[in-house]
């Protein structure tokens, strides 16, 4: 595509993002120099203790200001794309109950994320990340193209539904049964029809792409051959390796990424790229006995 066909605002945005790496390296280098000076002086700076809200550092403010100045916030295409094809949503405020008590998913707690393409990010949050959080507030059942739909905004991942010859083909049944059963019964069946699920595809071994299977598939139907589940070769080994063998490390990583161990009053400004947070019904265990067939998705050899 020639530059003549690309809007000037979009070209500016792309050019800026190409240079983001240099900005990040520069900020990191500056932090390294500060740490080096502190060590050289022999007296480490006092570190605050306990859980509490702390203001952003000077380095964070400066890095966020670069994004705020350079990004083309008048480019509204991503907001148009995010809302295209919407068919229906769950009733406001988007609370899905958990079988363990409380809510498995509660969009209402993110009502502070509002606005359109304009930059209204807090100075402690990267403006590009805040913009993405606003886009993630688009939720519901969407038509992608004729015969393909997606459920978005109610979990870490999205569920895709394809109309097959004899029933539904589901790609990635979300993270937990609590969420998958609700979106299936309240969105898919009422608006697309009550057809049988004939095939389920797990794209990969992250729990948010298979953990909700029991909300939409009955094991008796699976054993009777009414439903077939397909997954990449080596799926079980990968799932066990990440969720069991490395489970403690992955749980700690998730805590840092999502801040899910922080008190609710301190979790307000922490959007993430994938979604708002983890499904609260999710558990690390994967006592997951449903059989599947390894299949070639074009990126590895089949068994």
* The pairing of beta strand 140-145 with beta strand 86-88: antiparallel
Q: List all residues 6 or more positions away from 113 whose beta carbon is below 8 Å from its beta carbon.
A: 130, 133, 134, 136, 137, 271
**Cβ neighbours of 23 (radius 10 Å):** 15
Are 162 and 104 contacting, i.e. CB atoms less than 8 angstroms apart? Answer: no
pLDDT of residue 9: 57
pLDDT of residue 274: 56
pTM of the model: 0.73
Are 266 and 51 contacting, i.e. CB atoms less than 8 angstroms apart? Answer: yes
pLDDT of residue 113: 87
Are 172 and 136 contacting, i.e. CB atoms less than 8 angstroms apart? Answer: no
Residue whose tokens read 């993630």: 136
Residues in a beta bridge with 228: 199
> Secondary structure of 54-122 in the HEC alphabet?
CCCCHHHHHHHHHHHHHCCCCCCHHHHHHHCCEEECCCCCCEEECCCCCEEEEHHHHCCCCCCCCCCCC
Q: List all residues 6 or more positions away from 177 whose beta carbon is below 8 Å from its beta carbon.
A: 99, 211, 212, 213, 214, 215, 281
**Regions of the chain with pLDDT less than 70:** 1-53, 260, 262-303
Q: What are phi and psi of 200, to 5 degrees?
A: -130, 135
| Token couple for 292 | 């599947």
- Kindly report, residue by residue over 41-99, the tens digit of the pLDDT: 445 455 555 666 678 899 999 999 999 999 999 999 999 999 999 999 999 888 999 99
Domains and CATH numbers, the chain: 1-44+53-84 (no CATH), 86-295 (3.60.15.30)
């Amino acid at each position: 595509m020639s530059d003549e066909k690309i809007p000037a605002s979009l070209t500016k945005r792309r050019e800026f993002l190409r240079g983001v790496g240099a900005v990040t390296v520069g900020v990191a280098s500056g932090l390294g120099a500060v740490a080096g000076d502190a060590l050289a002086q022999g007296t480490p700076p006092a570190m605050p203790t306990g859980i509490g809200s702390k203001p952003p550092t000077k380095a964070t403010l400066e890095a966020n200001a670069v994004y705020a100045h350079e990004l083309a916030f008048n480019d509204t295409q991503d907001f148009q794309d995010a809302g295209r094809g919407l068919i229906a949503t769950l009733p406001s405020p988007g609370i899905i109950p958990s079988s363990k008590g409380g809510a498995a998913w509660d969009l209402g707690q993110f009502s502070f994320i509002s606005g359109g393409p304009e930059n209204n990010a807090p100075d402690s949050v990267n403006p590009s990340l805040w913009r993405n959080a606003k886009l993630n507030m688009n939720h519901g059942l969407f038509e992608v193209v004729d015969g393909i739909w997606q459920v978005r905004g109610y979990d870490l991942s999205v569920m895709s539904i394809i109309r097959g010859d004899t029933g539904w083909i589901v790609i990635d049944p979300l993270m937990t049964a609590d969420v998958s059963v609700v979106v299936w019964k309240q969105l898919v069946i009422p608006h697309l029809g009550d057809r049988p699920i004939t095939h389920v595809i797990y794209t990969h071994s992250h729990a948010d792409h298979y953990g909700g299977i029991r909300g939409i598939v009955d094991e008796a139907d699976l054993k009777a051959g009414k439903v077939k589940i397909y997954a990449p070769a080596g799926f079980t080994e990968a799932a066990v390796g990440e969720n069991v063998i490395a489970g403690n490390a992955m749980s700690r990583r998730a805590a840092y990424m999502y801040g899910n161990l922080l008190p609710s009053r301190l979790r307000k400004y922490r959007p993430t790229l994938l979604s708002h947070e983890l499904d609260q019904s999710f558990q690390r265990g994967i006592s997951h006995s449903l059989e599947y067939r390894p299949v070639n998705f074009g990126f590895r050899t089949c068994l």
